[in-house]
Structure formats: structure tokens, C-alpha cells
Amino acid sequence: MPLDPQIAGLLKQAAAMGAKPLHEQSVAEARAGLAMMMALGARSLARPAVADRAIPGPGGELSLRIYTPEGVGPFAVLVFFHGGGFVLGDVGTHDGVCRELAVGAGCVVVSVDYRLAPEHKFPAAPDDAEAAVRWTFEAAASVQGDPTRVAIGGESAGANLAAVVAQRLRDDGGPAPVAQLLVYPTVQMSGAPTQSILDNAEGYLLTAKDMQWFLDQYLSDPADAANPSASPALATSLAGLPPALVITAEFDPLRDEGEEYAAALRAAGVEVKVSRYDGAIHGFWTFFGMLKLGREAMDESIEWLRVRLTTPEL
């Protein structure tokens, strides 16, 4: 299919503004750019209660932002990890996303401000992510949450962290999330490039050079790319992991690795739903406030979470 007309229009506007390619920007420039884009594309009218909280983390104090829907708890819980290539983003950039998820799915959302590279290299981010999920299980009652109905999820790099944490918890004997929401996940940082990387190398919003820029910031040693805590697709086994919704985009370099991971989960006996959005590019899900396709993908995520968190045995 051709590129979605709304997305094509946004890309044309961005090109007219003369923004530098991501891989030519400084980290500070790229962080400011993402914050500006998210302020435009991820506006939400949802109004859950919002509170910031600090918990002990493996690298010191770990900040969380907690969203609570109206009603009487205990509520199901989603622990959410923002995207941004392990370098960009924070709980502020993805505030609108979490508002939508909390109100739409009727769950508490625990948004995690994990440590970013290059200041904090791998494995700081997955270590923080795991600590936040373990805390959520242990302290669910303190946030009006139900520890028997905890899901994990994220987009892009955040989806990588969700997949990694699911594997770590399984390998350590629990606790076990009831679901994992993986929105255009990056799951394999080593090996030959997939066809979608080759086809979209010059890409739309995310290019092959951009992906390498993120890896250079994130990994201290290229050999770390083969570690399953960086590349969860390389885990020895995918059996026993939570049911997953995997969302991909047609014109996304990460499309194939996400869909291949979903197929590998299914082959390992995990229940998986895969939704590819034709005409879409990387990042479209977070632009639910501007893009029809983004709104559709957000609505699908919300409905899937609502069903899974209401009746997790399904």
C-alpha cells in the first residue's frame, strides 16, 4: 500500500521545516525534538488522577508516574515503558499516551522513568524496568492495583524492555504478568538486517543510520547486542511468556523483527495477536491525537488490554 496520506503530509511539513536527520543531531537536540513532536501528536483529553512517586532502583532513586482512572479499585495495572531508542523520552513525553491507556482500559498505569543512554549504558534500562515491575507486584495495593492483574507494555525501545522483563521474570520464577503489549518492538540488535530494514533504510522518521546512532549510544560493547537482555529474540526459549499483542507498521524498519518475534512466540505456545498497520510508519501509535491510523492502533491496544485485564485467563 502507499504511505498513508495523513502521514505523508506530516512528513512533508517536517521536511519543509529543515530538521536535521536524527543521527546528525546531538543527544540534547534529539531529546528536545521528540518532546516537541509528542506535545503535538500525543495530546489527550483523558483525565485520570496523576501522581509522581520515587522508589528504590538499582541505580538509585527511580521515578514513576502513576495514572489512576475514576472508580473504585483495586484496578488492573499496566507497567508502561516509553520509547525513544533508550536515549530519548521520559514520563513527560508519553504523558498523553498513558492518560489514554489508563482511562481507556480502566487500569492503573505505572509509567517508568528508566535511566537513559548515553549517560547510563546497557543494562541500566532493563535493570530499572525489572525493578519497577517487581515493585508494582509487591506494592500494587498502595496504588489501588490488583497484583493478580498486572500487564507490561511499551513502544519501540519500551516494548523491548517489556519483552526483556517478561523473560527475566519467567526465568526467575515470577511474578508473572498476565499480558504484554508490544508496539513496534525492537527485539534483535545483532545479525543480518531484515528485509524491512533494507527496504526502509532511508526510511520515514526512523532510518538505518538512526538505528545505528541509538545503538552506539546504548551499548558499551557491540557484543552486548547478542545478550537476550538487549535482544530478547535471541533468548534460548520463548515458552511460558505472557500473551502478547504485537503492533507493527508497514513502512517501519522494525516491522519484520516484530513480526518474526510474534511468530516465534506463537511457535513456543504463547498466544499472540499481530496487527500490521499498512501505510503507517514508526511512531504512528503515539500520534493518536493527529493520525487516524494512530487512533485506530491506540483503540485496538486499549480494547485488547481491557479484555486481557478483565479476564486474564482467556
Residues marked active site are found at: 156, 252, 282
What CA–CA distance (Å, rounded) separates 214 from 87?
Answer: 7
Contact indicator for 8, 250 with CB cutoff of 8 Å: no
- Counting beta carbons within 10 angstroms of the beta carbon of residue 52, is it exposed (0 to 12), middle (13 to 18) or buried (19 or more)? exposed
Q: What is the CA radius of gyration of the chain?
A: 18
241 — alpha (psi -120 to 50), left (phi > 0) or beta? beta
Q: Long-range pairs for 22-26 at CB < 8 Å and ≥24 separation?
A: 22/206, 22/207, 22/210, 22/213, 23/207, 23/209, 23/210, 23/212, 23/213
For cell 515458552, name the residue. 239
Helices (H), 46-176: 95-105, 124-139, 157-171
Cα→Cα distances 295→44, 232, 287, 290, Å: 11, 28, 8, 8
Report the Cα 61 to chain-centroid distance in Å.
Answer: 22
Residue 282: Cβ within 10 Å count: 26
